[in-house]
C-alpha cells in the first residue's frame, strides 16, 4: 500500500502539472464514467493530501472534490504527449482496459496525462463529504496544521503496541509498514511496547522523526531513506534498498549500529521489525 508521503508526492505532481488548468477527464474502464463526465472541462483549483487520501478540488458546482484512496494496489501513472511514462509504478504493455480515471491537460508536446488504476476509493464529494473523510483520521505528520497532541492523547491511553498504533490511521494518518518499523528504531523504542508505557518525550521523538523522514522522502520524490550516512557503507552516493533502512525487511541481518540480529514478528496481520538491543522493551 502506498504510504502517506507518496500521496503528498502525488499532490505535488498534480499541482505542478495541472494546477489552475482546464482538465479533460474520461474513464476508459467505464466504472467512473459519470464522475469523469462531471469533471470534464473543469479547472483544477487545489490539491490536498491528508494521510493516504488525495483530494483534488475543481471549479464549478458541487461536488467539487475528487477523493482518491489508493488502497493496497492502486496507483497513478503519468505520461507525456507521446505516451511515454514519466513516473509511477511501471506499466507493462499498457492499455486502457483497467484505467478507472484519466486526467489530461495541455496541448501538443506539452500535454500531460495521469491514469488511475486499482484504487479502493475514487469518488466525487462535496465539502461536507471531504470533512467527514478527514474527521476519521488522526493528524498527518506532513501537514502544517497537524496537532501531535491529538495522537498522543490516544497513544497514552492505549494498551495496544506502539507499532500498531502508528499504523492506525485514526491515530497518525499516513504511516505505513516502513515508518511503523523505522520510527520506533530512531526513537529507541520497542514496537511491542504498549502505548500506556510510552513516555511523552519518547512519543515526541517518534513524531519528530516521523515528520522528518517522511518529509525528506517527499523531497526525494518518494524515495525512502532513514539511515544516516555514517551508518551506511561507503558508496558513490547511491543509496540502495539494502542500505536505506535500519530494520525494515532486514530480519536476520546485523543492526547497522550495534550488530545485533534484526528480528521480525507478526503484529496484527502484518509484520514489524526491530533491534532487541537498540530498542529496549
pLDDT per residue as tens digits for the range 32-68: 999 999 999 999 999 999 999 999 999 998 999 999 9
pTM for the whole structure: 0.94
Q: Does residue 188 lie in a domain region?
A: yes
Q: DSSP for 132-166?
A: HHHHTS---TTSTT--HHHHHHHHTT--SBHHHHH
Domain assignment present for residue 142? The answer is no
In a domain, 18, yes or no: yes
**Domain count of the chain?**
2
For the cut 80, the answer to whether the pLDDT of residue 150 exceeds it is: yes
Domain end (from 107, 135, 163) = 135
Domain that holds residue 95: 4-135
Instruction: Verify that 89 and 169 share a domain, yes or no.
Output: no
Query: Using one digit for the tens of pLDDT, what is the confidence trace for 163-190?
Result: 999 999 999 999 999 999 999 999 999 9
Q: What is the pLDDT of residues 85-98, one digit of tens each?
A: 898 877 766 677 88
Phi first, then psi: give them for residue 115, nearest 5 degrees. -115, 135
Which residue, 114, 135, 156, sits at the end of a domain? 135
pLDDT of residue 104: 97
> Could you tell me if 155 and 258 lie in one domain?
yes
Name the nearest CA neighbour of 23 among 114, 100, 121: 114
Same domain, 161 and 197: yes
Residue 281 is assigned to a structural domain of this protein: no
For residues 37 and 159, membership in a common domain is answered with no
Whether residue 143 is contained in a domain is answered as no
**157 and 269 assigned to the same domain:** yes
Mean pLDDT of 8-24: 97
pLDDT in tens, 92-116: 666 778 899 999 999 999 999 999 9
CATH code for the domain in which residue 210 is found: 1.10.8.50
User: 201 with 265, same domain?
Assistant: yes
Q: What residues are labeled active site?
A: 2-3, 52, 270
Amino acid at each position: 500500500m502506498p504510504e502517506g508521503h507518496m500521496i503528498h508526492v502525488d499532490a505535488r505532481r498534480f499541482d505542478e502539472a495541472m494546477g489552475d488548468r482546464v482538465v479533460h477527464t474520461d474513464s476508459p474502464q467505464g466504472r467512473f464514467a459519470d464522475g469523469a463526465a462531471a469533471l470534464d472541462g473543469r479547472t483544477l483549483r487545489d490539491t490536498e493530501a491528508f494521510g493516504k487520501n488525495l483530494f483534488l478540488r475543481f471549479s464549478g458546482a458541487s461536488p467539487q472534490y475528487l477523493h482518491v484512496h489508493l488502497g493496497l494496489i492502486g496507483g497513478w501513472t503519468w505520461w507525456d504527449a507521446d505516451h511515454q511514462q514519466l513516473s509511477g509504478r511501471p506499466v507493462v504493455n499498457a492499455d486502457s482496459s483497467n484505467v478507472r480515471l484519466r486526467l489530461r491537460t495541455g496541448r501538443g508536446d506539452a500535454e500531460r496525462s495521469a491514469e488511475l488504476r486499482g484504487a479502493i476509493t475514487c469518488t466525487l464529494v462535496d465539502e461536507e463529504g471531504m470533512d467527514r473523510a478527514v474527521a476519521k483520521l488522526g493528524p498527518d505528520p506532513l501537514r502544517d496544521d497537524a496537532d501531535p497532541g491529538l495522537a498522543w492523547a490516544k497513544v497514552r491511553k492505549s494498551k495496544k503496541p506502539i507499532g500498531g498504533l502508528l499504523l492506525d490511521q485514526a491515530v497518525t494518518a499516513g504511516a505505513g509498514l516502513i515508518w511503523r518499523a523505522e520510527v520506533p528504531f530512531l526513537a529507541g523504542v520497542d514496537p511491542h511496547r504498549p502505548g500506556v508505557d510510552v513516555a511523552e518525550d519518547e512519543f515526541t521523538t517518534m513524531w519528530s522523526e516521523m515528520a522528518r523522514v517522511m518529509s525528506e522522502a517527499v523531497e526525494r520524490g518518494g524515495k525512502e531513506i532513514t539511515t544516516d550516512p555514517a551508518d551506511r557503507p561507503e558508496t558513490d552516493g547511491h543509496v540502495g534498498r539494502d542500505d536505506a533502512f535500519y530494520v525494515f525487511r532486514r530480519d536476520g541481518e546485523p543492526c547497522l549500529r550495534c550488530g545485533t540480529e534484526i528480528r521480525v514478528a507478526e503484529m496484527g496481520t502484518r509484520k514489524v521489525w526491530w533491534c532487541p538491543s537498540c530498542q529496549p522493551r
